[in-house]
Structure 1
Amino acid sequence: MDYTHRWVNHEECFVDPVTGARTNRIEGAWEVHIKRHLKRMRGVRKELLTGYLDEFLWKTWFFAGEVPVSTCMEGLVMAIRKHYHV
Structure 2
Amino acid sequence: MKLYARRKGQMIGQPREFVMIDESNFRHKRKYGRGRFAKTWRRRKWVFGMLGVAPRNSKPILKLVHRRSRNHLIPHIVRHVHPGSSILSDEWRAYRGVLTDLGYNHFPVKHNQCFVDPITGSHTQNLERAWLTYKGKIWRLRGNRTEDLLKQHLKLIEWTYWLGNRHRNGPLGRLLKDIHRKYHL
Same fold, judged at TM 0.5 (above): yes
Question: Cα distance, 1:70 vs. partner?
Answer: 3.9
Sort the Cα spacing of 1:29 and 1:72 in 2 relative to 1 into closer, same or farther, 3 A.
farther
Aligned to 1:20: 121
Determine whether 1:7 maps to 2:87. yes
Provide the aligned length of Structure 1 versus Structure 2.
74
Q: Spell out, residue by residue over 1:34-53, the C-alpha distance to the aligned partner (whole angstroms, 9 max, x if none).
A: 12211331343232212210
- Which structure has more relative contact order (CA 8 Å, sep 6+)? It is 2
Q: Spell out, residue by residue over 1:41-82, the C-alpha distance to the aligned partner (whole angstroms, 9 max, x if none).
A: 1343232212210111111221226527843734985xxxxx
Within-5 A mapping of 1:36-55: 36-48=136-148, 49-55=150-156
2:176 corresponds, among 52, 71, 75, to 71
Give the TM-score normalised by the residue count of structure 2.
0.31
Tell me which amino acid in the other structure corresponds to 1:28.
E
Query: Equivalents in 2 of 1:34, 1:22: separation in Å?
Result: 19
Query: Equivalents in 1 of 2:146, 2:123: separation in Å?
Result: 30
Give the TM-score normalised by the residue count of structure 1.
0.55
1:59 corresponds, among 122, 146, 160, to 160
Query: Equivalents in 1 of 2:159, 2:134: separation in Å?
Result: 12
Q: Where do 5+ consecutive residues of structure 2 fail to align?
A: 1-15, 19-85, 97-107, 110-115
Question: Cα distance, 1:18 vs. partner?
Answer: 3.7
Query: Equivalents in 1 of 2:175, 2:145: separation in Å?
Result: 24
Secondary structure in 2 matching 1:19: coil
More helix by share: 1
Question: Cα distance, 1:30 vs. partner?
Answer: 1.4
More strand by share: 2
Query: Equivalents in 1 of 2:180, 2:163: separation in Å?
Result: 8
Q: Where do 5+ consecutive residues of structure 1 fail to align?
A: 78-86
